[in-house]
Amino acid sequence: MNPDKTDILKKLYAYCAYQDRSPKQIEDKLTKLKADKMDWPDYLEHLKAEKFLDEKRFAVAAARGRFYQKKWGKLKIMQLLREHQINEQIIQQTLTEIPEEDYLATIQSLILEKQNRLKEPDPIKARHKTYQFLLSKGYEPEYVLPVLKREFFG
């Protein structure tokens, strides 16, 4: 590799060492570094060979962080991973690694948090607002509705 390529590769190593990155993030970084597009596959291969770039590892870390810290649902996590151009098979495999009991417990805790914050006297409107809130967080209706009915209507 010529000196320019070596410098770019060193910058990519440092960029990837900080946290797991997706191939899309690497491409964005290569654009900022003004790397020749013809060399992009070489950079990606070097990063993969040296274990600095791993789609599966990125997907798992991103999904875990979004679910456990931000309390995102699977639909929103899936959308994020697709935006990062993660392979669909890896996305599906990653989402199955979120334990269902944690998923349902998070839905229930979000419902209770929302109920406590709402100042809506009408239970039907409160239920609708809570439902919309959970959909916006990326939770699937088939998971939300049974928990919502149980919380609002005993």
Secondary structure percentages of the chain, helix, strand, coil, to 5: 75, 0, 25
Same domain, 104 and 135: yes
79 backbone dihedrals φ, ψ, rounded to 5°: -60, -45
pTM over 0.95: no
% of the chain exceeding 70 in pLDDT:
96
87 backbone dihedrals φ, ψ, rounded to 5°: -55, 135
Please give the residue range of the domain that contains residue 134.
100-153
Count the domains in the chain: 3
Same domain, 90 and 110: no
Same domain, 45 and 68: no
What are the pLDDT digits (tens) for 29-70?
999 999 999 999 999 999 999 999 999 999 999 999 999 999
